[in-house]
Amino acid sequence: MIVAAFVAGYFIGSIPTAAFLADLRAIDLRSEGSGNPGTNNALRIGGPLLAASVLVVEVTKGYAAVWVGFSIGGELGAVAGGIAAVAGNVFNVWYRFSGGKGLGISLGVLAAAWPWVVPVLVTLIAIFALATRSAGLAALIAMAGLVMASYTWPAQNWTTGGLADTGPRLAVLAVGMSAIMGWKHWRDSPLNPSWRPERITRA
């Protein structure tokens, strides 16, 4: 059942919806801007409306993957489906195992599995994106916060508000998603010695 939940989550996460939405505007996110088919590049290249559309769809996919996983394998299935959805986004089979950065879809995963942590992460990303001028670095800080929270939450006996309980599954979810996403955000942050600011090729 856990394998089935993982496969279902991966399939949902790999659906190339960002590219489809951009194609409707005659925009190729994979060849313009940063080349990343995600919300940040959609904002830079296509503007707020495209970015909002991409974000809503990615969040919905993550949310759906967790619920599908839960229906297949219960709580463990929900965690497996959520991690797999992020993997499907980052290592997308339709893009020869290249893809997005996983941030939007991970918010959808957490909205279903652990909604009470979402405002904390969104606040961290907003603060550090403004402070550092680097979305990649802000995302890395938020991931570190997520992993720390996965240990703090059970210690305080706080409820998650979602499908994941406050046991070890939180740590599996947090570490699993962060491990999958982290290298891309590190690559696109000032922590990477070869990092360069993104150049915008389209208004």
35 in a structural domain: yes
Does residue 202 carry a pLDDT above 50? no
Tens digit of pLDDT for each residue in 125-172? Answer: 999 988 888 888 889 999 999 999 999 999 898 999 999 887 889 999
87 in a structural domain: yes
Alpha carbon distance 174, 184 (integer Å)? 16
Alpha carbon distance 111, 118 (integer Å)? 7
195 in a structural domain: no
Read off the pLDDT band of 28 (50, 70, 90): confident
Least Cα distance to 5 among 112, 119, 126 occurs for 112
199 in a structural domain: no
Structural domain count, the chain: 1
109 in a structural domain: yes
193 in a structural domain: no
Domain of residue 37 covers 2-187
pLDDT of residue 23: 76
182 in a structural domain: yes
Structure tokens at 4: 């089935």
196 in a structural domain: no
